[in-house]
Structure 1
């Protein structure tokens, strides 16, 4: 039920967000998901997988930010 609610909230957000802002937001989606998964795996005790994933996500975020400037 919570997942369905989250999907509807995301759909409403994307429906009312201007296109230029959406393009900028979606460029950060990949790094954000990678960082979140890395953090979850690290907290769950899978640091051997989570920490490198966290590092890759942070590097990807820095690359994306530098490319936008």
Structure 2
């Protein structure tokens, strides 16, 4: 999930507690090549996830993004 009626998603929102929900940031800007960059970032994080490594760009609800 990446878009909510209130953003950032409040720290006490129930969605943060679900193990089967992943909250991701969304990008409100568009630039040339953003689709390829986004796909590269996703593929990299998928590989990291499968290897049990730390993911890049993880949302930190304490920081608000």
* Band the TM-score falls in, shorter-chain normalisation: 0.3 to 0.5
- For normalisation by structure 2, the TM-score amounts to 0.36
Whose Rg is larger? Answer: 1
- For normalisation by structure 1, the TM-score amounts to 0.35
- Write 1 or 2 for the structure with the bigger share of helix: 1
Structure number with the bigger relative contact order (C-alpha 8 A, sep ≥ 6) is 2
